[in-house]
């Protein structure tokens, strides 16, 4: 049997897609860990309790993938910038809106049945979420679809992407300088938390924006290194070993190296030969539906707790398995039945709108 290709015809790096799916499920289990605590050993729960670090991996991956696909096509102040931003809007917004409306229905039912008040729902946060600005420093706490804070922060990074391309010009910098800037930015993330007195990686409304932007830029610079070194597959194993060592240093002695660990992991996986298990179809599929997994699981968990979780007692394992199966099924249905079709329709509309002025222009 031949190994599956590391890249698809459209340039998708399969190991990076797969690792995104694994990270999304780490977030799911992070939010489920309190219900799993009676059933799992303390060491496993401790690992699940670090699942919010998967969001940092998302930020590095996002910067990497955006730079890989748009680094040579976006120019500040040009039509290419508007096209890039619309494409990102078409990618993230339809499903975000759908899940947000799901929370609206849930909250309306809670108010209607007297188990909540309208004021307690924080309407201002809902409105901010509609415009994807809920984590831009306007609110002191996360509400509604809590995981969507990172989508808000990432959209801010998308807006900065053309400016960062021009200001940093990664393609014109020597590799040693790129590595140095990656290290400085990585350390600055932990320093940011220290300076403002927040434990890493908490206080999301106060820290999430910088946490996202810094690691998004790290991903961009890592991608530039990948572009230069993509034939150097021998670097993959040392980079993956470095990622493992840095992760161990963080888990064991809280060394401030999380962004560096993720940067080494992403570059090592991108440079690897064949991708191994991370190029297998099931894991790749989990990665492709991971955005639906990430955005939908919290609403499903909210409903699950209402229906099945009783205070003071352990939730039966079959019910927990039912929840996880529901997340998986929702991920598939939302990705194939809504997320991708909505994205295609928006992009088709955008293409027609851009073509209309050219069709109306007089012939020379």
The dihedral sign for the CA sequence 114, 116, 119, 122: negative
The rounded distance, in Å, linking the Cα atoms of 176 and 174 is 6
The reported pTM is: 0.92
pLDDT at 355 over 70: yes
pLDDT at 358 over 70: no
pLDDT at 214 over 70: yes
Q: Does residue 246 sit within a domain?
A: yes
The rounded distance, in Å, linking the Cα atoms of 97 and 139 is 19
Question: What would the DSSP string read from start to end of 30-86?
Answer: HHHHHHHTTTS-HHHHHHHTTGGGHHHHHHHHHHHHHHHHHTTT--TTSHHHHHHHH
pLDDT at 77 over 90: no
Coil vs helix vs strand at 173: coil
Q: Does residue 7 sit within a domain?
A: no
Q: Which residues of 199-221 are buried (b: 16+ CB within 10 A; e: fewer)?
A: ebbebbbbbbbebbbbbbbbbbb
Q: Does residue 239 sit within a domain?
A: yes
pLDDT in the model for residue 80: 80
The rounded distance, in Å, linking the Cα atoms of 77 and 163 is 9
CB 97 within 8 A of CB 130: yes
Q: What domain range includes position 37? A: 14-355
263-320 per-position pLDDT tens digit: 999 999 999 876 688 999 999 999 999 999 999 999 999 999 988 888 778 899 999 9
pLDDT in the model for residue 71: 86
The chain-wide mean pLDDT, for the chain, equals 90
The rounded distance, in Å, linking the Cα atoms of 66 and 305 is 36
The rounded distance, in Å, linking the Cα atoms of 245 and 61 is 20
Q: Does residue 8 sit within a domain?
A: no
Q: Residues 96-103: what's their mean pLDDT? A: 96
The rounded distance, in Å, linking the Cα atoms of 283 and 201 is 27
Q: What percent of the chain has pLDDT over 90?
A: 75
Give me 173's structure tokens: 């910098």
100-141 per-position pLDDT tens digit: 999 999 988 877 776 656 666 788 999 999 999 999 988 888
For residue 95, what are the contacts with CB-CB under 8 A and spacing of at least 6?
291, 292, 295, 334, 338, 339, 342
pLDDT band at 328 (very low <50, low <70, confident <90, very high): very high
Q: Does residue 319 sit within a domain?
A: yes
Distances (CA, A) of 226 to 67, 127, 271, 341: 11, 39, 7, 32
pLDDT in the model for residue 4: 41
Q: Does residue 318 sit within a domain?
A: yes
Q: Does residue 332 sit within a domain?
A: yes
Q: How many domains does the chain have?
A: 1
Q: Residues 319-332: what's their mean pLDDT? A: 97
Q: Does residue 92 sit within a domain?
A: yes
The rounded distance, in Å, linking the Cα atoms of 169 and 151 is 25
Q: Residues 188-217: what's their mean pLDDT? A: 95
């Amino acid at each position: 049997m031949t190994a599956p290709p590391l890249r698809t015809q459209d340039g998708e790096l399969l190991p990076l897609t797969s690792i995104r799916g694994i990270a999304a499920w780490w977030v799911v289990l992070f939010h489920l860990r309190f219900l799993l605590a009676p059933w799992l050993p303390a060491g496993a729960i401790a690992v699940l309790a670090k699942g919010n670090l998967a969001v940092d991996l998302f930020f590095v991956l996002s910067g990497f993938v955006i730079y890989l696909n748009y680094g040579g096509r976006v120019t500040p102040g040009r039509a290419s910038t508007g096209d890039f931003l619309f494409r990102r809007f078409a990618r993230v917004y339809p499903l975000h809106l759908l899940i947000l409306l799901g929370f609206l229905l849930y909250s309306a039912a809670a108010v209607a049945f007297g188990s909540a008040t309208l004021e307690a729902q924080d309407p201002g946060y809902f409105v901010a979420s509609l415009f994807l600005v809920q984590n831009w420093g306007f609110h002191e706490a996360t509400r509604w679809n809590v995981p969507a804070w990172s989508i808000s922060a990432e959209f801010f990074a998308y807006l900065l992407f053309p400016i960062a391309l021009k200001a940093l010009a990664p393609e014109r910098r020597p590799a040693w300088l790129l590595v140095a800037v990656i290290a400085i930015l990585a350390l600055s993330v932990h320093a940011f938390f220290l300076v403002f007195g927040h434990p890493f990686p908490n206080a999301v409304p106060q820290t999430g924006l910088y946490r996202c932007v810094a690691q998004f830029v790290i991903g961009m610079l890592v991608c530039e290194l990948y572009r230069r070194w993509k034939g150097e597959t021998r670097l993959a194993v040392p980079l993956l070993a470095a990622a493992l060592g840095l992760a161990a240093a963080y888990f064991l002695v809280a060394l401030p190296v999380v962004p560096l660990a993720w940067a080494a992991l992403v570059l090592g996986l991108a440079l690897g030969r064949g991708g191994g298990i991370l190029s297998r179809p099931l894991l790749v599929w989990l990665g492709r539906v991971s955005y639906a997994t990430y955005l939908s699981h919290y609403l499903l968990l909210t409903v699950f707790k209402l229906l099945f979780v009783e205070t003071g007692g352990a939730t039966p394992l079959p019910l927990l398995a039912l929840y996880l199966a529901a997340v998986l099924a929702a991920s598939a249905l939302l990705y194939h039945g809504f997320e991708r079709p909505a994205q295609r329709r928006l992009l088709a509309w955008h293409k027609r709108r851009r073509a209309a002025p050219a069709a109306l222009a007089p012939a020379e």
